[in-house]
Copies of this chain bind each other. A is one copy, B any other.
């Protein structure tokens, strides 16, 4: 029934303590336990790759959020892709590729109830690669799709700005907005990412927020200068993945009836003091504009339709994707996660757990 026996070991990463600021080695614990056979209605999945998401930092904190925090001692929450290696569930067969809540471990053994709660679904590798199923066809893609379409409500000819443009959500949002007829300006860190966003993804421009001040210029805000140059008539939609100073600068450049999609605030996730609130929020009043949050899970019922649309764009070449795949298995998780916060990743950050 499976290639698993009771000598197969499942290596796991558990949350040992709650971080203050950037997570450190002491916040993690590596454990192992034998792989179990699934119970009636359950499924055993060998995890092939997991998605590394900025939201993970929030899940490590105590306190109420849009989902409960990861408990101390629990396997760290993660979305991933894998292959079914044992099944007592009618909808899944050995050899099926699946995506869902795998957590940071090599095997996930789900009960019947957990199988539905983890959102486990079969994935079709003809529509996209394993890592694309963690990117454009996965949670980041869905977040970008519904954040843009339902909250941003793009109209042809409008100007959209997206921060974290080279990241998982940002690349989807910008390309989709181009497909929907917008002018698209990205914000990303460093010339390599900016060049890729424009040349490969086809954004109209990309602002390097790390660009140093020109010689002799004392007061320098690279984002402000970039927006003046690339969005001289202002911004209709700002899709915000970063918060902080960049959000504040964009707020000074929005147009009447602008929509600001609050998708994340990676600049603030490791803040040990208070989060930096947008001091220019009264621009919402002056410009009759809107700032609205999005949580992707609300749109679960519409994922299949969005995936079909996005797979079509992948196929016809209008949507490209880039994943930054790190080999190394579960042990590499802590260091790989921190690459998100330093902005080192280039494209959707994926940790490979096993060879397919």
Contacts and interface: CB of A to CB of B under 8 A. Distances in A.
Interface in A289-333: 289-295, 298
A197 to B, nearest CB: 24
A281 B277 CA distance: 6
Contacts of A243: 282
A286 interface: yes
A282 B265 contact: yes
A288 interface: yes
B291 A284 contact: yes
Contact of A279 (B276, B280, B284, B294): B276
A170 interface: no
Nearest to A278: B277
Contact of A277 (B64, B248, B262): B248
B280 A277 contact: yes
B275 A262 contact: no
A115 interface: no
A279 B277 contact: yes
B294 A298 contact: no
A293 B283 CA distance: 8
Given A290-B290, A291-B291, A291-B292, A275 B282 contact: yes
Which DSSP category, helix, strand, loop or mixed, fits chain A's interface? loop
Copy number of this protein in the oligomer? 2
Given A291-B292, A292-B291, A65 B279 contact: no
Given A290-B291, A292-B290, A262 B279 contact: no
A270 interface: no
A26 to B, nearest CB: 26
B286 A295 contact: yes
A274 interface: yes
A264 interface: yes
Interface of A: 64-66, 243, 248, 262-265, 268, 274-295, 298
Given A275-B280, A284-B293, A290-B292, 9 more contacts: A243-B282, A278-B281, A281-B291, A283-B293, A286-B293, A286-B295, A287-B293, A289-B292, A291-B291
18 contacts: A66-B285, A66-B286, A262-B284, A264-B285, A268-B282, A275-B280, A277-B277, A277-B279, A277-B280, A278-B278, A282-B293, A284-B291, A284-B293, A285-B294, A285-B295, A286-B293, A286-B295, A288-B292
